[in-house]
Each structure stands twice: as C-alpha cells, then as structure tokens.
Amino acid sequence: MKKDINSNRYIFLYATILIIVVAVLLTVTALWLQPFQDRNAKNEKRIQILTAAGIPDVNAKNAALLFEKHCTAEFLLDENGNPTDDNGLPVFVIDRQTSVIPMQGNGLWGPIWGYLAIAADGKTIVGVAFDHKSETPGLGGEITTEKFQGQFAGKQIMENGSTLPVEFDAITGATKTSDGIKEMIDSTLEKYSAYLKKFAAKGE
C-alpha cells in the first residue's frame, strides 16, 4: 500500500508528530542544560561585578574564588538608602570600600545592563561593566569593549549632595545605544542617590 503524502490525513499526522518530537526535544534539552546555564549566568555576573570594581584578570575559572575573596558585603537598600531585608536595591561591596551597583536599561534592539563601581568617597566612578542582549555587533555591541568602558573611570557623579548627569564619548553609528547607556546610568544614580548622599555627608 502506497501512502499518499499529500492527503489531509497524512499532513495533519505529519505536522502533529513533528511538533511533538521537536517540543519534547527542546524541553528535555532546556531542562537538562538549565543548571549549567544558570551557573554560567551567575559566574558572568560575578565577572562583571569584579571587573567593574577594577579587579584585574577575572575569568570564568577564577571568578567564584575571587568573588568570595573580594566581596566583603552584599545587601539591599530601601528608598532612604538604609539596609533592608527584602525588595530593595542591591549593593555589592568590594574590598570594604567600593560599592558596585547594578544597572538596567534599553539599547536599540533589546535590553542592556551592567554594573557601576563607585569609590569610597561616594562620588567617583571606579569602573563600569556593560553587557547587552542584541545590540549590533561592531556598533552598539562596542559598549562591552575595554575602550568604551575605560573612559568612565574617574568621572564625578556627585556634586554638592546631588547627582550629576554623566558625560562620555558616544559610539559613532550607535546613537541609540549610547543614549540608552546615558539614560541607564542617570536613572540608576537617581535611584541610588539617597545611598550616595550618605557618603558625601560622611566625608564632609
């Protein structure tokens, strides 16, 4: 008996089986690989935090160890800049002096994020680390390069107790991504301003 591969019955059967096979395959793979992927994502986060804080030579292999060694405190802040137990803004303290805060924003095609490391005086940037989901390689994607991130170190973000808008050299051909970076830094500083003001008060 020869099957008619263009009969409706066959087409429905074919499509159903194909979809089930593909769905099972993808689900099994995703569940099986989930722990490995989570570990990588967590490691990546640590690498970014340490890199922003200026710890040299961080890589996937030594990130966990270095993080353990350098991260002296990790807490959440409420809206007044005081430590709280839940639902707050996270802060990572590196070597008892540098505060590293996470940032989230939007680039041209998708989310961008990163970490901002602020010195113990509460107004000087120690370093930054950016990453992105889908910016154009070679244009917006350049925000992850040393060349772009390097220019942020040493910039002042606080003056007379209020946050300053950050200024930097944008990337040619990637205006929207550069705008996104600026927006992201400014809004993050705004959110953390209560916390940063405390440093200023202490220093004076």
Contact positions toward another protein, by CB under 8 A? 5-6, 10-11, 14-15, 18-19, 22, 25-26, 29-30, 33, 36-37, 40, 43-44, 60, 131, 133-139, 141, 172-173
How far is Cα 67 from Cα 95, in angstroms, rounded to an integer?
A: 10
On whether the CB atoms of residues 114 and 48 are closer than 8 A, the answer is: yes
Quick one: 115 exposed, middle or buried, by C-beta within 10 A (0-12, 13-18, 19+)? buried
- Name which of 44 and 190 has its Cβ closer to another protein: 44
Beta carbon of residue 136, minimum distance to another protein (angstroms, whole number): 6
Displacement of CA 24 from its chain's centroid (Å): 32
> Which string of DSSP letters, residue by residue, matches 150-204?
HTTTT-B-EETTEEPPP--PPPTT-HHHHHHHHHHHHHHHHHTHHHHHHHHHHH-
Beta carbon of residue 145, minimum distance to another protein (angstroms, whole number): 8
- 77 forms beta bridges with 83, 89
- Name which of 13 and 73 has its Cβ closer to another protein: 13
- Name which of 21 and 73 has its Cβ closer to another protein: 21
- Name which of 59 and 82 has its Cβ closer to another protein: 59
Beta carbon of residue 180, minimum distance to another protein (angstroms, whole number): 16
Beta carbon of residue 64, minimum distance to another protein (angstroms, whole number): 14
Beta carbon of residue 131, minimum distance to another protein (angstroms, whole number): 8
- Name which of 40 and 162 has its Cβ closer to another protein: 40
On whether the CB atoms of residues 114 and 130 are closer than 8 A, the answer is: yes
> Which string of DSSP letters, residue by residue, matches 61-81?
TTHHHHHHHHEEEEEEE-TTS
